[in-house]
Structure 1
Amino acid sequence: MPAKKTAKAATATTLGALGIDPYKEKRGEEYMNENQEAHFKAILEAWKKQLMEEVDRTVSHMKDEAANFPDPVDRASQEEEFSLELRTRDRERKLLKKIGKSITSIDEQDYGYCESCGVEIGIRRLEARPTATLCIDCKTLDEIKEKHLNR
């Protein structure tokens, strides 16, 4: 059974993939100050750029690899590969919308606060999930409600 990732490990993995160091909070620092907002905006912009590069690679790959194979099995295999890539890009398209909303939220100085109860979401949670809009307690309640409704 694989070990469960800690929030710290997940944060390091997410930020490391983007080439950004975790935020180092200073003693007595106000939550979501200019430095923190700039940090999260950099994370979101880097993530957005990375996703857009993936879109460009997918388009190039599909153009370059598109072939009309005479063998139906080869053709079906290629179509399945393209279908998988397109589904992935569709999920990323939705993620790009969330990233855009998060960037707007930073610009409006609403970023980092729970949409449901208004408390601070927290630096580490936001580093692990930069598009988070709910604090961990509200997100947990939301998931419990969803689980009970989908029974």
Structure 2
Amino acid sequence: MNAAQLAFFRQRLLNERAELAAHLREVKTSIASHERDSDEADQASFEEELRLALRQADRESRLITNIDAALKRIESGDYGYCEETGEPIGLQRLLFRPTAKLSIEAKERQERKEHHFRKARGE
């Protein structure tokens, strides 16, 4: 991958990280500013919205961690290479998922293996 491509992905990751961090701040502010409703239906509705917001925030927090790892791989020169095979991941896959650590083939193998283990355990 050339320097311009690495700069493109670095900026894309930084932008996505900033957007996620801003959204997480909004969620925290929203939670902190909520006053308890005396109406049970309103409180139940808020609690359901809160549960969904916290689930989304958890996913976004994990994505920030993955973005940070991808940025470190850019800095170390490992970005764009499969952690399993060492082969290039491919620009199309990175455009779709810039945090990818595995090539499509390696990811498919991993998913087949996970599916096999789940099936063997009876899940």
TM-score by length of 1: 0.76
Counterpart residue number, 1:106: 74
Q: CA shift at 1:42, angstroms? A: 0.6
Counterpart amino acid of residue 61 in structure 1: S
Relative contact order (C-alpha < 8 Å, sep 6+): which is higher? 1
The CA distance in 2 between the partners of 1:70 and 1:35, in whole Å, is 57
Aligned partner of 1:58 among 7, 27, 45: 27
Q: CA shift at 1:109, angstroms? A: 0.5
Q: CA shift at 1:62, angstroms? A: 2.3
Aligned partner of 2:54 among 80, 83, 86: 86
Counterpart residue number, 2:42: 74
Counterpart amino acid of residue 113 in structure 2: K
- 3-state SS of the aligned residue for 2:62? helix
Counterpart amino acid of residue 47 in structure 1: E
Query: Could you say what the CA RMSD is over the residues aligned between the two structures, in angstroms?
Result: 1.0
Counterpart residue number, 2:83: 115
Aligned partner of 1:127 among 95, 101, 106: 95
Alignment partner of 1:97 is 2:86: no
- The alignment of Structure 1 onto Structure 2 pairs a total of residues equal to 119
Counterpart amino acid of residue 101 in structure 1: A
Structure with more of its chain in helix, by fraction = 2
Counterpart residue number, 1:43: 12
Counterpart residue number, 1:29: none
Counterpart residue number, 1:34: 3
Counterpart amino acid of residue 111 in structure 1: Y
Counterpart amino acid of residue 60 in structure 2: E
Q: Could you list the runs of 5+ residues in structure 1 that have no partner in the other structure? A: 1-31
Counterpart amino acid of residue 69 in structure 2: K
- 3-state SS of the aligned residue for 1:104? helix
The CA distance in 1 between the partners of 2:65 and 2:92, in whole Å, is 22
Aligned partner of 2:107 among 139, 144, 149: 139
**Identity %, equivalent residues:** 38
Q: Could you list the runs of 5+ residues in structure 2 that have no partner in the other structure? A: none
Q: CA shift at 1:41, angstroms? A: 0.1
